[in-house]
Chains A and B, each alone.
Chain A
Amino acid sequence: MNTKVTLTGVTLDNPVIPASGTFGYGYEYAELYDINVLGSLSFKGTTKDPRFGNPTPRIAECPAGMINAVGLQNPGVDAVIAEELPRLRSVFHKPIIANVGGFSIEEYVHCCEKPDKEDGVAILEVNISCPNVHSGGRNFGNAPETAAEVTRAVKAATKKPVYIKLSPNVTDIVSIAKACEEAGADGISMINTLLGMRIDLRRKKPIIANKMGGFSGDAIFPVAVRMIYQVYEAVKIPIIGIGGVSSAEDVIEMMLAGATAVQVGAANLVNPFACRDIVLDLPRAMEKYGIDDLTSIIGGAH
């Protein structure tokens, strides 16, 4: 049985990857199990300067999911490279995905150039669900033009494969994926969280201090599968599928829709063993569905 998959020349032992922001830099999980069972790991979104993020409450529960408004809390790219990455690499020996955020084109470029030079970092994953401070706070990921602009700038400054992580909060995700491909993206990661809100009935105000936040977890799985299915038909570059994955069956379903690998996000927070459990359960699920080689099922539903 073969669980290996390849993302732009980077071969992973299996397609299971913890999603950015739900796995920190791996330490908390490494205390629980050998995280080298994972295919790869996407670390917390990194910005140029250290960020505290949003005021609390940052978390609200939903049926079959949760909303978060952490606001990209991270120690800044220099501290990530100097401290977090070496610590992560001392316990994790698989390819690492560096997730970066930014509030201007220059910041994206800066945050990609640094990990691009680091051994151990295999892929740059660019989160374009961030507001552009130079254009009234519109998200880079909301229009094909700005998504392409980020892609072009990052590609021109780096050597490693660049995956653009798409926002689902758009009218036509296919046109944005195509614009990224045309601008030189090596792959697409999708999807980020869906904008959501919960209101506290006692206080009669939004639960989250930031009012809105990103909805993720089991509930968004069908939205993610649908979007991956659509984008797979429109682009030739590989897709890392993300959104509501919590079982080996979900991995197979997302790969059938068109994903080459998948990321697991919120599920890690409620079951810290989620990724390991999925990896260990994959062979059973593959056997059940008559799958010998995972790569052979990518896009199989089309």
Chain B
Amino acid sequence: MKQALYTIKSNRALTRDMYEMILEGDTSDMTAPGQFVNLRLDGFFLRRPISVCNQEGDTFTILYKVIGHGTEKMAQMKAGEVIDILTGLGNGYDTAKSGDAPLLVGGGAGVPPMYLLARRLIAEGKKVTVILGFNKAEEIFYREEFEAIGVKVLIATADGSVGVKGFVTDALADAGAYTYTYACGPEPMLKALYNATDVSGQYSFEERMGCGFGACMGCSCKTKYGNKRICRDGPVLTKEEIIW
């Protein structure tokens, strides 16, 4: 973990309520895809946890959905502004377990960490397929970005306006054979995936956080391997240890 100041390079809307922010600063503690950062915003007591979507050299990208006052404030920030951020939080995904042809599944605000994960897996020579789940066509983001790095992209929309109609699990049949799964998204999506496939994997969870670095026990969950803190021992849990 590192606390430092990061400068906004760009901040733009991808859809009506999904934004992309690129930041510059010390990224030395970001060690794995699936980790998150915790942003301190003026006027808010708690920090805001957001997954790392991409990282290259001393810049990194976050994608955030505007849902409340904090993310609303983030959406108004401009290039050049500086944010106090804790980086390198959480365990992240272990790419060593993926096999040759991993399947990535991201739903809504769970799509972002899949991008850095996909890049890392591709760099390791793996054949990557991703299923992205959205409610409707207007909410789709990062499809081209995934395609540009050589990922096979399948889209599921709840209203059927693009891709398979239904949930991410309805697109599983089109994914072909896969060796492992990596997932991030709302809990009902994770649970549906858990039940829909026998293939092992790693699932990323969300919880309301006090600190985000393991000190307050605000984010605890029970697993088959004992109590864990989502912020420090997670957010990624292996499929085998999850208790729903």
* Residues of A in contact with B (beta carbons under 8 Å apart): 21-24, 28-29, 31-32, 44, 52-53, 56-66, 68, 70, 73, 207, 217-218, 266, 268-273
Contacts and interface: CB of A to CB of B under 8 A. Distances in A.
A62 B45 contact: yes
Contact of A56 (B1, B47, B221, B232): B221
Contact of A32 (B1, B208, B218): B1
A291 B209 CA distance: 39
B216 A269 contact: yes
Nearest to A25: B215
Contacts, number: 94
A129 B146 CA distance: 52
B208 A269 contact: no
B216 A70 contact: yes
A260 to B, nearest CB: 25
A272 B213 contact: yes
Given A29-B215, A32-B3, A70-B218, A57 B45 contact: no
Given A31-B1, A270-B45, A57 B208 contact: yes
B211 interface: yes
Tell me if B's interface is mostly helix, strand, loop or mixed.
loop
B94 to A, nearest CB: 21
A274 to B, nearest CB: 11
A66 B227 contact: no
Contacts of B227: 52, 73
B222 interface: yes
Tell me if A's interface is mostly helix, strand, loop or mixed.
loop
Contact of B210 (A52, A218, A269): A269
Contact of B217 (A31, A44, A273): A44
B1 A58 contact: no
Contacts of A62: 45
B45 A68 contact: no
A59 B47 CA distance: 12
Interface in B32-55: 40, 44-47
B213 A58 contact: no
Nearest to B222: A52
B43 to A, nearest CB: 9
Given A60-B208, A73-B227, A272-B211, A68 B222 contact: no
A21 to B, nearest CB: 7
A183 to B, nearest CB: 31
Contact of A22 (B1, B45, B216): B216
A243 B201 CA distance: 44
A68 B218 contact: yes
B45 A61 contact: yes
A53 B227 CA distance: 10
B237 interface: no
Contacts of A66: 45-46, 210
A269 B46 CA distance: 8
Given A28-B213, A66-B45, A266-B45, 8 more contacts: A24-B214, A31-B1, A53-B217, A59-B209, A266-B210, A269-B46, A270-B45, A272-B86
